[in-house]
Amino acid sequence: MDTDIALDTRTQGQRPVRETTAPGGWPAVGMIVLYFLLQALFATLFASAASLAVLLGGSTDRANLGPAIKILLGRPDIGALLVAVALCGAAATMLWLVRLRWPTLWPLAQPPGFGWSAPSSGVFYVYAIAAGVVLPVLGGYLTHFLAQGHPVPQDIKLLSARAPQAYKALLAMLAIIVAPLVEEVLFRGVLLSAWLRRLPVAWAVAATATLFALVHLPDLKYLWYGLPNLAMLGAAFAWLRLRSGSLWPAVVAHGMNNLVSLLGVFFAAHGV
């Protein structure tokens, strides 16, 4: 069933009401691809700037320049800054592009809108917090069961474990606030609305959750054990988005999930 929603252009006073149509599937996927490409671009720009600083510093001769740059970029504090620059730069750019590309869809509560609005009831924030606490615990057990004792690393967790305390706090803020916000706009806002054009709700949710899991494979070092957990999270976030008429409960649940995961890493590192 095609769920395109197109409103005829008409006037309210002197102002026209613009046509409101869900994004196409390929433009929506393209936005997600662009998000990760932008992360790579901003990371490259930061690494280039750091390398240039070493070169201009004059404390290293040209013969040792390559090893000096490699040592610099391998430092946990510099690695944390690289992640921060890449994520914040890509997130800010994508939020601006989505708002610019689909301004009429941005505030609409239900698809084809992106849900940048208050939820229909505050109780969905309670559901979001509960989901953000319970699901990572259940997902952790599921992942460890599927892994059969094999480690399941995640890049930001490994990096935050090595970083100085101030940089750990920075990475935690990014994981809890910035990453959930931009990912929910892209996956449960743009992509879910796009796929609801051609798919029944259950299939659109499943497809969105599956892609959400797959794009995190590099963080998992391409180990499949964590995919069912991520897909389950993606489906739960989509349920919150659709039932509440808002993106914010999904953002809260996503942020809580990341917080609980990071706390698990912290306690494990300190033998708690």
Angle (nearest 5°) at CA 207 between 203 and 212:
150
**pLDDT of the residue at 123:** 98
Predicted confidence (pLDDT) per residue in 222-239, tens digit: 888 889 999 999 999 999
Q: Which residue has the higher pLDDT, 210 or 72?
A: 210
What's this model's pTM, rounded to 2 decimal places? 0.87
Does some domain include residue 1? no
In a domain, 34, yes or no: yes
pLDDT tens for each residue of 131-175: 999 999 999 889 888 888 776 666 555 555 566 788 888 888 999
d(CA 225, CA 190): 27
In a 3-state reduction of DSSP, which class is residue 142? helix
Unique residue bearing structure tokens 């750019």: 93
20-24, 103-107, 242-246, range with the lowest pLDDT? 20-24
Number of domains in the chain: 1
User: Given this model, what pLDDT does residue 78 score?
Assistant: 86
Residue 251 lies in a domain: yes
Q: What is the pLDDT of residues 60-88, one digit of tens each?
A: 656 666 777 778 777 888 888 999 999 99
pLDDT at residue 272 tops 60: no
Alpha helix ranges (H) inside the chain? 25-57, 65-74, 76-101, 123-147, 155-162, 165-173, 179-184, 192-195, 201-214, 227-244, 248-269
Q: Would you say 172 and 262 are in contact if contact means Cβ atoms under 8 Å apart?
A: yes
**3 in a domain, yes or no?**
no
The boundaries of the domain holding residue 176 are 11-269
Q: How far apart are the first and last CA of the chain?
A: 52
**pLDDT for the residue 58:** 62
CA atoms within 13 A on the CB side of 12: 3
In a domain, 5, yes or no: no
- For residue 6, being part of any structural domain is answered with no
> How many C-beta neighbours within 10 Å does residue 132 have?
26
Asked if residue 84 belongs to a domain, the reply is yes
Please report whether residue 2 resides in a domain.
Answer: no
